[in-house]
Amino acid sequence: MEDREALNTKSKYKVILTCIWSLLFSTSFCAQNILNHLDFSCYQVASHIPGIDAVFVIQLEENEKLSALHEELQQHDVQVFDYNKFQKIPEIVLTSYCSSIVSPFLLTEILSHLSIYQYCLNQGINRVLILESHASLMKDPRELSQLLTTLNEKTRGYWDVLYTDSDFHHPQTGLPIVPNLHYIPKNKKAFLPGISKVFCRYGAASFVISKSGMKKVLQYFQTRWDNLPFDQILFRIPRLYIYGVDTDIITNRYSTKPSENVHLEKLKKKEKLYQTGNEFWIDPVHLLTHDRFDAAAKYIYAKYQLKHYRTQWHVDLYKKHLENWISFYNTEPLKIGFPAFLSAFNTLIKSLQNKRFDPTYPIDINNLGLACNGSHRIGTCLAMQIPVKVRVESGEGSPSMTASAFRNLYSLEEKYLDHMAYEYAKLKDNTVIVSLFPAGYQFRKEVENILNKYGTVVHDKDIWLTESGCLEYIRLVYNGEWWTGSYLDNFQHSKAKAALCFPRDLRENSPVKVYLYECETEAIARVAKEAVRTLCNYGNESVHINNNHNQTKIIAASVFNENSIAFMNKKKLNIHPQFHQYMKNLHAFIGENPIDPEEICIDTGCVLAAYGLRDTKDIDVIHKCPLPSTYQSYNVDSHNPHLHHHSKPLDEILFNPENHFYYQGIKFVSIDLVRKMKWDRHSEKDLVDIELIDAL
End-to-end CA gap in the chain: 42
pLDDT 10s digits, 397-448:
667 799 999 999 999 999 999 999 999 999 999 999 999 999 999 999 999 9
**DSSP secondary structure letters along 193-212:** TTEEEES--S--SEEEEEHH
Query: Taking 50 as the threshold, does the pLDDT of residue 29 lie above it?
Result: no
Per residue in 496-546, pLDDT (tens digit) is: 889 989 998 888 899 999 999 999 888 899 999 999 999 998 888 999 999
- In 3D space, the residue among 541, 545, 510 whose CA is nearest the CA of residue 14 turns out to be 541
- pTM over 0.75? The answer is no
Least confident of 126-130, 200-204, 318-322: 200-204
Where helices occur in 428-548 by DSSP H, the ranges are 438-441, 444-454, 467-477, 492-501, 504-507, 522-536
How many of the other CB atoms lie within 10 Å of CB of 366? 19
Q: Report residue 260's pLDDT band, with 50, 70 and 90 as the boundaries.
A: very low
* 91 vs 275: which has the higher pLDDT: 275
**Each residue of 156-189: b (16+ CB within 10 Å) or e?**
eeebbbbbbbbbbbeeeeeebbebbbeeeeebbe
Counting residues of the chain whose pLDDT is more than 70, the rounded percentage is 87
The model's pLDDT over 286-338, given as tens digits with 9 standing for 90+, comes to 999 999 999 999 999 999 999 999 999 999 999 999 999 999 988 778 889 99
Residue 675: name the closest of 662, 688, 665 by CA: 688
* pLDDT, the chain, mean: 87
> Which residue, among 457, 459, 492, 488, has the nearest Cα to 474 in the 3D structure?
492
- Predicted pLDDT at 102: 75
Task: Check: CB of residue 161 under 8 Å from CB of residue 209.
Answer: yes
Tally DSSP H helices, then E strands, for the chain: 27, 26
Rounded to the nearest angstrom, the gap between the alpha carbon of residue 167 and the centroid of all alpha carbons in its chain is 29
Confidence of residue 557 (pLDDT cuts 50, 70, 90): very high
Helices within 187-287 (DSSP H only) = 211-223, 230-234, 265-268
Residue 24's pLDDT is 39
Per-residue pLDDT at 180: 61
With contact defined as beta carbons under 8 Å apart, do 561 and 661 qualify?
yes
Bigger pLDDT: 112 vs 419: 419
pLDDT band at residue 476, thresholds of 50, 70 and 90? very high
Q: In the chain, which segments carry CATH 3.90.550?
A: 32-252
Query: Could you read off the pLDDT of 214-250 as tens digits, one per residue?
Result: 999 999 999 888 878 898 899 889 999 999 999 999 9
620 pLDDT exceeds 70?
yes
Predicted local distance difference test score (pLDDT) of residue 181: 60
pLDDT digits (tens, 9 = 90+) for 49-74: 999 999 988 877 655 566 678 778 87
> Would you say the C-alpha torsion 193, 173, 108, 470 has a positive or negative sign?
positive
CA distance 503 to 13: 7
**What's the CA gap between 144 and 50, in Å, rounded?**
8
The CATH number for 32-252, chosen from 2.60.40, 1.10.3470, 3.90.550, 1.10.540, is: 3.90.550
The confidence score (pLDDT) of residue 71 equals 79
Rg (CA), the chain: 30
User: Is residue 424 exposed (0-12), middle (13-18) or buried (19+ Cβ within 10 Å)?
Assistant: buried
The H or E element that residue 623 is part of is strand 619-623
Count of Cβ atoms closer than 10 Å to residue 669 Cβ = 26
Residues 284 and 382 sit within 8 Å (Cβ to Cβ): yes
Query: Are 220 and 175 spatial neighbours (Cβ–Cβ below 8 Å)?
Result: no
**CATH code that applies to domain 429-570:** 3.30.70.141
Which residue has better confidence, 104 or 632? Answer: 632
Name the pLDDT band for 559 (thresholds 50, 70, 90). very high
**At 101, is the pLDDT very low, low, confident or very high (cuts 50, 70, 90)?**
low
Residue 25 has pLDDT above 50, yes or no: no
Spatial CB neighbours of 361, under 8 Å, sequence gap ≥ 6: none
Q: 18 pLDDT band (50/70/90 cuts)? A: very low
Any bridge partners for residue 476, and if so which?
A: none
Please tell me whether residue 302 adopts helix, strand or coil conformation: helix
Judge residue 537's burial from the number of C-beta atoms within 10 Å of its C-beta, 0-12 exposed, 13-18 middle, 19 or more buried.
middle
| DSSP three-state, residue 57 | strand
In residues, how long is the chain?
696
Q: CATH 3.30.70.141 occupies which residues in the chain?
A: 429-570
